[in-house]
Structure 1
């Protein structure tokens, strides 16, 4: 599903880029070349720049290792530029930019990208609105033409304006109102941190300001900010430089700049005059939260690198100070985090804690205050400093894996610093940070006098819901916006500029996969990938939550979580420190059928990473105190999930479809089962199911088969599992059940989550590919039928989705959307109608062509990262699919025709067997639903029992 993105503080907290200037290469600073730690080289971005006569900056980087190209346009306009009393304008306009121009109708951008196997998206933040597409390289000219068309001749009509405004309202309800901590991070935090700067307004705005907007306001906003000299074009991928320059000159260079200056908007945020505190209340807050914040500096500030390192030491990973102190030692927090946000004109650092059950806000604030004071009182250790730097350098590598990644890194540097070299200099700046620098910036910025403290608590009768601040002033007024200017309408088809032809396709390649076994039965697969010095490892076991056993839901997930919490040679803190000192990522998780242990690291430290991974898998201790910590954290996380409509609907749907069968139990456990798990349960699961003969190890990235064989033999060659292997779970899907209609009543919910559920097919079923193509048509992409009907035509949801949910046994098909409560029944009807249509009518050949392209394009893009490549290879192995399918995937998709797709849906996903689950404020829709379904079951959220197939 496509999301028109908001880049806000909330996103980082909630877990958790006609004559021309002569071209010149953007050479990296000398210090950047020497900055990386020994053995790791972070290559420069290497873009070439030119500036068109109309003021548009163009940056390009050719990469022939891919068959794709990314096109990004970054406009220097964000939510700070929203006019007074019109918050949310920049973001609203982001949505409108995907509509018609004089030369093509609505949704053409989706046709030009998704329908040919690419993708598109956009985001709005304080200072920028950015649009980006990735497509097969032979479609590049069409995208340059389309970007020029929407910059120079966008159509904004009343119907589209009102529909997209409704979509944004649903986005607001989903991200702000329905999310337990949405109000805190999206609304209350920025409005408290900033006193005068327009950054104090939330990017998405408010329902009231959105309602106040007029179409004339929006057209004037476009005329003001969408102009060539306010835009940056970034192109990266497989293209011919001279050919691209010709297309840019043909389509973009002729667009004229307006003769009026941009509105002045450079507010200086005042220095704090003393500490401030605020308390906010909201519905649906399962655990209290506290935040401490300090105003800091803008992006170009000299102390940015030191503050970045401080932030890393504060909260990155389980060896961070906040995690070690608040979560691990004191157990005062269920989760923690921090963010050093640097925008164009101001910045802030904030740290937050979602409190553990039974802990008070004062305890959380005291713990945060103590950790911040440590930075001021004493230098950080050499080990902490090295660890933070290695993590940041490794992350810089990961953020440069794909052409899209590299273009995005460049875009942020240009928007925030107006200098492409910032992106390359950043690594050198971080490496130069000393312990004294960290202590200095802590004493300069993170003082008690500058602090801002927020408490976020559940609303009740005595403390009603805190309201978003409205009527906020801003430097730009509606009166400052440019006149509307020329109004464009969609031309008659015969008068439209034709889309350019596509050029010859560039064929993607799939790697040859080495396949061998160690003497102990461990299967090893190796998929080399040239490029960055990164390697991924994925060790998978044939054991998942379906093997938990009656009354033990969550034991597979708990076992996986405890792997990093202590071995016979390392304590949990030592493991966390070692992972982060390597700049590695190591973790584990359990799905329905399998458990995966994964690692990713720079290639020079990958052998140490694999050795550590092996120790975690082979020698866990499952100490009682670690089990208790994980139990407490898991229970707190469940409380949060069970207060959010979407996750509740998903877990209830599993019970409705599978009942008491193994697949029906929540994989993460329930409040009852997690509380009852013992060390013996976990140790038994590990001893009987973590075995080399039942495991597959996949290496991908900067590694050869010979090196992989040597690593695998060294780490796992002498591994012999003790005892007897457990018997695999028999019939985890159980018998098919009668359909149900279930409402879980959550009074005051910000939205309703609507889910249609059916029993699907196993991954090995012959119907897999026909159903996969059909699911993509139904709800697997932004251009899907569900999204067209529910979001685009009616504005009833921010987005819809559907999934086959394939497993080893019969899977769980779901189609879902979140909507305002009073529209829940209408949305349910629309979903059911579209599922029914797939089983009763054949798709058009055009629909099939585009769905095939979407799937093959997404498959190709998944191979661009080492983790993505490893995941694809591991998925084939886990479901016993031949490795040859890596090369024949596209052919299997292309072979699906209309009759096969219709027949597959009619046979395997008949709508008459569908169940319906709705979670929301039932008072707003129950009568309408009961009129259609007299046997509807209504279960108060407080009475929901996920341990029972009856759900109560």
Structure 2
């Protein structure tokens, strides 16, 4: 997969901006993404969004299954299954899907997130039909064998060892924080997978998981790019239309109780050379006014050189060289569907104490009062970020929002309402959101303690 990732990163670097020929129905400064949305008889949600600015097409299939609701005692299973999807289907042998895309001049990838698993291909526009056929072929049925399962169990376990267990700051904070900040198992277990659980997965587990969650009535198909609408509809019906639907289980309760007391934890790390800190606050419920207010507070506190935490911790005190963070470390503030944290993290000098750092953060938080000017600047930054997301990687960001809004809200057209929702936010709402969600009792602090060679503990 290294070659795929290199090509994907190249596309990210060379990607064009947001399509310049979008209709301007809402005014000269607002975008309007074309959206045609319908559902096949088997339940597959289909979103078509044409864009003629480049002769490319994106096929993105999103399944409504992610880390959050994978089976208990099978941690990491959703991610393991992502790997299984490249092991062969009815008409394509092992790894032939990848070969098909690359030989047709395209790139591809897949990922597992909190609430979905996705697969996408970016190809020359004249190869759209081929990609639709290929995605339908593996939705119709995988080549599920013990050999493939055993092989991918080894691949995923090695990935865990390389990316988490044997890496300084491995899993910090994206994998660690949900386990500390949340209380509900579905939100708080090891999403990457415990090695014992990965070993315990059986062929029957894989078959059951596929037949249940990889069904058309648990999926959304987004097509973005330069294509003929009627031909695309014809191909989608031909290749996906007769795939049988499945009986979907009732989704578990993934809600989190209101946090009433600050939590603090320390993670020892023998490979780290500096202490690190992550601070997370539980988010408001998705799509509420406070949710959009938190999106703007993220811009004020963390994003960019003028962010308040950056100015305090980097420019004024020199405790760290950079503060990073945001809402949903495995995506963006839009593509999740459950409890989430607003979080920021940084490393800091061994000579600086944890207490000094927390005191500095508290100074920013305790003095945070949003003015109209601060709000206006945050909206400008958010709008810029949103346009980057929509136009990046030949429209992949657009496909992502269309597919997730179809899965989570049954309303992909809400992609055109986002800017308006942010503009509804007032300074009064912002300050109310600060009081309720950026309170100390709503936060979790996780510190990485480097185990220095001389056994000194800097904190």
Whole-angstrom distance in 2 between the partners of 1:45 and 1:404: 13
Residue equivalent to 2:440: 448
The answer to whether the Cα contact below 8 Å between 1:335 and 1:355 also exists between their aligned partners in 2 is no
- TM-score, normalised with respect to structure 1: 0.44
Residue equivalent to 1:414: 406
Residue equivalent to 1:389: 379
1:368 aligns with 2:361: yes
Whole-angstrom distance in 1 between the partners of 2:288 and 2:164: 31
Whole-angstrom distance in 1 between the partners of 2:49 and 2:85: 25
Residue equivalent to 1:192: 180
2:153 to 131, 142, 165: 165
Residue equivalent to 2:289: 302
Whole-angstrom distance in 1 between the partners of 2:145 and 2:248: 26
Residue equivalent to 1:278: 265
Compute the displacement of 1:3 (Å): 6.3
Whole-angstrom distance in 2 between the partners of 1:175 and 1:28: 44
Compute the displacement of 1:58 (Å): 0.7
1:427 aligns with 2:419: yes
Whole-angstrom distance in 2 between the partners of 1:197 and 1:269: 10
CA shift digits 1:692-744 (9 cap, x unpaired): xxxxxxxxxxxxxxxxxxxxxxxxxxxxxxxxxxxxxxxxxxxxxxxxxxxxx
1:437 aligns with 2:421: no
Compute the displacement of 1:417 (Å): 3.5
Compute the displacement of 1:420 (Å): 1.3
1:151 aligns with 2:132: no
CA shift digits 1:909-939 (9 cap, x unpaired): xxxxxxxxxxxxxxxxxxxxxxxxxxxxxxx
**Closer, same or farther: CA 186–451 of 1 in aligned 2, 3 Å:** closer
The answer to whether the Cα contact below 8 Å between 1:71 and 1:134 also exists between their aligned partners in 2 is yes
Residue equivalent to 2:212: 224
Q: Secondary structure at the match of 1:396?
A: helix
Whole-angstrom distance in 1 between the partners of 2:236 and 2:364: 52
Whole-angstrom distance in 1 between the partners of 2:126 and 2:345: 47
Whole-angstrom distance in 2 between the partners of 1:387 and 1:276: 32
The answer to whether the Cα contact below 8 Å between 1:187 and 1:201 also exists between their aligned partners in 2 is no
Compute the displacement of 1:183 (Å): 3.0
Structure 1, 199-208 or 307-316: larger mean CA deviation: 199-208
Whole-angstrom distance in 2 between the partners of 1:461 and 1:279: 18
Greater C-alpha Rg = 1
CA shift digits 1:144-173 (9 cap, x unpaired): 111111011111112221222222122222
User: Map of 1:796-811 to 2, 5 A cutoff?
Assistant: none
1:348 to 326, 341, 352: 341
Whole-angstrom distance in 2 between the partners of 1:58 and 1:161: 30
**Closer, same or farther: CA 120–300 of 1 in aligned 2, 3 Å:** same
Whole-angstrom distance in 1 between the partners of 2:34 and 2:296: 25
1:124 to 109, 112, 127: 112
User: Map of 1:663-678 to 2, 5 A cutoff?
Assistant: none
Whole-angstrom distance in 2 between the partners of 1:298 and 1:444: 12
Residue equivalent to 2:14: none
Whole-angstrom distance in 2 between the partners of 1:69 and 1:93: 26
2:45 to 37, 57, 64: 57
**Closer, same or farther: CA 161–43 of 1 in aligned 2, 3 Å:** same
**Closer, same or farther: CA 355–3 of 1 in aligned 2, 3 Å:** farther
User: Map of 1:250-649 to 2, 5 A cutoff?
Assistant: 250-258=238-246, 260-341=247-328, 343-375=336-368, 379-401=369-391, 402-459=394-451
Residue equivalent to 2:197: 209
Whole-angstrom distance in 2 between the partners of 1:101 and 1:43: 40
Whole-angstrom distance in 2 between the partners of 1:285 and 1:172: 17
Whole-angstrom distance in 2 between the partners of 1:80 and 1:225: 13
User: Map of 1:489-888 to 2, 5 A cutoff?
Assistant: none
Task: Number of aligned residue pairs: give it.
Answer: 432
**Closer, same or farther: CA 405–449 of 1 in aligned 2, 3 Å:** closer
CA shift digits 1:572-613 (9 cap, x unpaired): xxxxxxxxxxxxxxxxxxxxxxxxxxxxxxxxxxxxxxxxxx
Q: 5+ unaligned residues in a row in structure 2: which ranges?
A: 7-21
Residue equivalent to 2:90: 102
Q: Secondary structure at the match of 2:171?
A: helix
1:176 to 164, 186, 210: 164
Compute the displacement of 1:267 (Å): 2.2
Structure 1, 217-226 or 379-388: larger mean CA deviation: 379-388
The answer to whether the Cα contact below 8 Å between 1:28 and 1:425 also exists between their aligned partners in 2 is no
CA shift digits 1:277-301 (9 cap, x unpaired): 1111112111101222221224233
Whole-angstrom distance in 1 between the partners of 2:293 and 2:420: 12
Residue equivalent to 2:100: 112
The answer to whether the Cα contact below 8 Å between 2:187 and 2:254 also exists between their aligned partners in 1 is no
Compute the displacement of 1:128 (Å): 0.2
Residue equivalent to 1:45: 33
Compute the displacement of 1:78 (Å): 0.3
Whole-angstrom distance in 2 between the partners of 1:2 and 1:444: 46
CA shift digits 1:107-139 (9 cap, x unpaired): 121122111110111111110001100111222
The answer to whether the Cα contact below 8 Å between 1:333 and 1:354 also exists between their aligned partners in 2 is yes
Whole-angstrom distance in 1 between the partners of 2:352 and 2:4: 36
Q: Which has the higher contact order (CA 8 A, sep 6+)?
A: 2
